[in-house]
Amino acid sequence: MNKRRLLHATAAAAVLCLAGHAQAQAQTQDFPPKKPVTLVVGFAPGGAADAAARLIARKLGEDVGQTVIIDNKAGAGGNIAHQYVAHGPTDGSMLLFGSIGPLTIAPHVMKVGYDPFKDLAAVSGGVNFPNVLVVHKGLGVKTLAEFVALSKKKPGSVDFASTGAGSASHLAGELFNQRAGIDMVHVPYKGGAPALQDLLGQRIASYFSAPPTALPHVEAGNVIPLATTGLTRPAYMPNIPTVAESGYPGFEALNWYAFVAPGKTPVAILERWNQAIVKVLADPGVREALNKHGLTPQPTTRAELTDFMKQEDAKWSAIVRDRKITAN
């Protein structure tokens, strides 16, 4: 009797094992999805995020043999897109070109309707780029040291623009406030274009801008660049010092975009997407095209992206608390 029960138990375990193996195989075989893939971007067409997503999506579709469609869901600094994907299909047919703000800053500033670490699943890093601090010509400063001296001489009189409360450009400014011991006044805008227009019109003193937005005006001499916010100088701005080398060692405030998926997407499918995206980001043609847009490819494993997001989350949540940042 006991022997018969043991045989039955062994057979049942074998069936369960085979079922699990078959399920894993089925999940892997479902890649690529049988329907077109949607890559959601949380910003309007024409910006850095959209340009990068379209470059990558084109090659990704060719490599996996399935159409990859860009879906621009702009609004709320990218939070609308992130909430949308957090509740999206889990069959591998939806990916999100997620960004630093909605993934690691906004959840500490406002109610966003999703948990970046539960409702979204890490797939791979995408691209990154620094900000560049630019000022209008009438401000009368040409170096970061002069800018800080002016801010300390007239506390609360120097302002800085950002692309919205809780955005990467906002937090870059707040991090600099903290490190430099100054108190620039934050002025949020609905995007980089209106912020830059007010800077050119000398209605705002400074702006932590995305390089692709500011570079034409820097080259034309319309604005003065003081420093970039990465640890090293970008190749397209070799003559502009970093904040770190200008007296604030270790200062780093990067914009970054990463690929994530709905949180309940099967691991086997997530891994296949990771392999496909890493391959695309290693392609020389893709890398060259991204570099021309001022973007640095940042492929990672899924675990590396998760660790990176946790580090960024801890860094920026501390700044939010220290500077008492809210959505208003």
Q: What is the reported pLDDT for 76? A: 82
Considering the domain 33-129+255-323 in this protein, what is its CATH number? 3.40.190.150
Q: Where are the domains of the chain?
A: 33-129+255-323, 132-246
Distance CA 54, CA 177 (A): 35
Contact criterion met (CB below 8 Å) for 146 and 205: no
Amino acid symbol at 213:
T
Averaged over successive runs of 10 residues, the pLDDT of the chain (328 residues) comes to: 46 46 49 95 84 95 96 88 97 96 93 95 97 96 98 94 87 96 92 90 95 90 97 93 97 96 97 98 96 92 98 96 84
Q: Which tokens in the block code for residue 230?
A: 């990465």
Determine the pLDDT at residue 11. Answer: 45
Q: Is 230 left (phi over 0), alpha (psi -120 to 50) or beta?
A: beta
- Indicate the helix (H) or strand (E) that contains 55: helix 48-64
Give the closest residue to 167 by CA, choosing from 44, 78, 298: 78
pTM confidence score: 0.83
pLDDT at position 165: 80
CB atoms within 10 A of CB 15: 10
181 exposure class (CB count in 10 Å sphere: 0-12, 13-18, 19+): exposed
Q: Residue 320 belongs to what H/E stretch?
A: helix 302-323
Measured CA to CA, the distance from residue 71 to residue 66 in angstroms comes to 16
Return the axis-axis angle of helices 302-323 and 168-180, rounded to nearest 10°: 60
Compute the chain's Rg from CA coordinates. 23
CA atoms within a 13 Å half-sphere pointing along the CA-CB vector of 106: 25
pLDDT for the residue numbered 23: 45
From the candidate CATH numbers 3.40.50.11900, 3.40.50.740, 3.40.190.10, 2.30.31.10, the one assigned to the domain spanning 132-246 = 3.40.190.10
Are 33-129+255-323 and 132-246 in the same CATH fold?
Answer: yes
pLDDT at 19: 42
Tell me which DSSP letter residue 171 carries.
Answer: H
On whether the CB atoms of residues 198 and 134 are closer than 8 A, the answer is no
pLDDT at 29: 53
Strands of the sheet with 120-130, listed across from one edge? 68-72, 37-41, 94-99, 254-262, 120-130, 296-297
Compute the distance between CA of residue 33 and CA of residue 64 in angstroms, rounded to an integer.
9
